[in-house]
Structure 1
Amino acid sequence: MVSAPCTVDLNKPLVFQVGHLGEAYNEWVHQPIVSKEGPRFFTNDFLEILTRTVWWVIPLVWLPVTSWLMSLSFRKGLTMVQEATVVIAGIIMWTLLEYTLHRFVFHAKTKSYWGNTLHYLLHGCHHKHPMDALRLVFPPAATAIIALPLWTVINILTTPSVAPALFGGLLLGYVMYDVTHYYLHHGKPSRGLTQNLKRYHLNHHFRIQAKGFGITSSFWDKIFGTVPSTKAAEKY
């Protein structure tokens, strides 16, 4: 007797359902539901609150940290020119990290119960409900967990004066990324760079999700050959 394929009840908390989709999860999660009403993740109200973050929390939390890191490098001996150079290097480092995480982690194909569940929490929920404004930016606690090993590696590989500015630049790049990402979904640019970025990113969501991994720029997509085709990138 062949068992019926698992289905997801959108009227119930989703997180502990999606794992049961198995190999069907990847197809399901890339069929977006365009609604400003976000789904419920958990039955528990406290866990549910932890999944929701308003966009302005990101600069509110991380820009003071970035400023402190930059001042620390200055106090440790970097000149203004040196610090500016290191911070720019950190921002460039972030753009590569942004691309790498998006392509190889956030778009990893999963089929196990916990693999599907973790993927849905990290990024799958965003593709399933791309207009959910409260699950578009990364919660600060989750960012801190990811940032800690990066800070450790930078400390090991660089000098005490360079490390804070470099990490500060990387963190500044992240803030720019997350607020840009929010704007590309909920802003209404009429022309220029932001309009092109919005078109490029929404193309990734609604047309060709296996390419177009850059958010703040298409630079690394061009380097690694993941720019969507011209036809897929037409204005819509």
Structure 2
Amino acid sequence: MVAKGFTVDLNKPLVFQVGHLGEDYQEWIHQPIVCKESPRFFGNDIVEFLTKNKWWYIPLIWLPVVAWFLVKSIYMGNTILDVALVAALGIFTWTLMEYSLHRFLFHIETKTYVGNTLHYLLHGCHHKHPMDGLRLVFPPAATAILLFPFWNLIKLVSAPSTAPALFAGILLGYVMYDVTHYYVHHGQPISEFPKNLKRYHLNHHFRIQDKGYGITSSFWDKVFGTLPPSKVEGKSR
């Protein structure tokens, strides 16, 4: 892809190249390269290694944390039913966060060198290489850093005894999202619901990228009017 005299060399580390695309960056990332090989991000081997994660890291690391917070809420005097209801509210809250992050942050339009570079690291790389299985889930180290301020925010907006259950529900919703996201890209569903989910998300990647922001469901796309049409004329973007 050539933009204003600049060519992205796919055989060299990509991260520090994409910023030079300027205004053409948005078009470039929405021309996917469908292959399972992971592109090179950085020249440094250690930094490059840290950008790659197996999908099963997510449930392995975070489900015990979810369980700990649920048990903590029970020990603080809540019934199992109360904890389950608050956790369910947390999961529902996550679905709105999932939609909002995907629509308003992951798909923000950039054109500066820094903006393009940061966006590529955050989400652009996933649209450019949608079948890269090692850069699909969010790195656990980055999640851990974000969870500390988020936990403090939860404590501010909920009662002390219900905060752990709400936090656990939101974290469980995140785990469900990341695992589902991996599955719709790399799984081979045989039943109707996961087939429809896979079709819905891949439609976002390969057909009309400014619609269909939901990953685990299309609920918020229906609420906010971003449900993709059944058919589109001409180019999707």
Q: Same-fold call, TM > 0.5? A: yes
The offset of 1:214, in angstroms, is 0.2
1:77 offset after TM fit, Å? 1.0
Deviates more, 1:178-187 or 1:145-154: 145-154
Secondary structure, in 3 states, of the residue corresponding to 2:198?
helix
Q: State how far apart, in whole Å, the 1-side matches of 2:210 and 2:169 are.
A: 29
Report the counterpart of residue 90 of structure 2 in structure 1: 90
Q: Residue 134 of structure 1: SS of its match in structure 2?
A: coil
**CA displacement at 1:7 relative to structure 2:** 1.6
> Is the partner of 1:43 in helix, strand or coil?
coil
Answering whether residue 127 of structure 2 is matched by residue 137 of structure 1, we say no
Question: After superposition, where does 1:137-216 map in structure 2 within 5 Å?
Answer: 137-216=137-216
What is the Cα deviation at residue 159 of structure 1? 1.3
Q: Partner residue of 1:72?
A: 72
Deviations 1:90-137 (A, max 9, x none): 000000000000000000001111111110001000000000000011
The alpha-carbon deviation at position 147 of structure 1 amounts to 2.3
**Matched residue, 1:54:** 54
Q: Following TM superposition, where does structure 1 have runs of at least 4 consecutive aligned residues deviating by more than 4 angstroms?
A: none
Identity %: 67
Structure 1 19/192 Cα, relative in aligned 2: closer, same or farther at 3 Å?
same
1:200-219 CA deviation, whole Å, 9 max, x = no partner?
00000000000000000000
Give deviations 1:28-47, integer Å, cap 9, x for gaps: 01110000111000001111
Q: Which runs of 5+ in 2 are unaligned?
A: 233-237
Residue type of the alignment partner of 2:97: L
- Aligned-partner Cα distance in 2 for 1:152–1:116: 31
Displacement of 1:4 after TM fit?
A: 4.2
Report the alpha carbon displacement of residue 151 of structure 1 after superposing the two structures with TM.
Answer: 1.2
Matched, 1:11 2:14: no
- Residue equivalent to 1:101: 101
Deviations 1:1-59 (A, max 9, x none): xx943221000000000111111111101110000111000001111011100000000
Residue type of the alignment partner of 1:27 = E
Give 3-state SS (helix, strand or coil) of 2:214's partner. Answer: coil
Q: How many residue pairs end up in the alignment?
A: 230
Worse-matched range after superposition: 223-232 or 99-108: 223-232
Question: Is this contact kept in 1: 2:4–2:21, CA < 8 A?
Answer: no
State the one-letter code of the partner of 2:81: V
Note the alpha carbon deviations across 1:40-90, whole angstroms, 9 max, x for none: 000011110111000000000000000001011111111111101100000
CA RMSD of the aligned region, Å? 1.1
| DSSP 3-state at the match of 1:135 | coil
Shift of 1:191: 3.1
Q: Distance in 1 between the 2:51 and 2:162 partners?
A: 34
**By how many angstroms is 1:192 displaced?**
1.0
Q: Distance in 2 between matches of 1:190 and 1:74?
A: 38
Q: Deviations over 1:158-204 (max 9, x none)?
A: 11111111000000000001011100000011231100000000000
TM-score by length of 1: 0.95
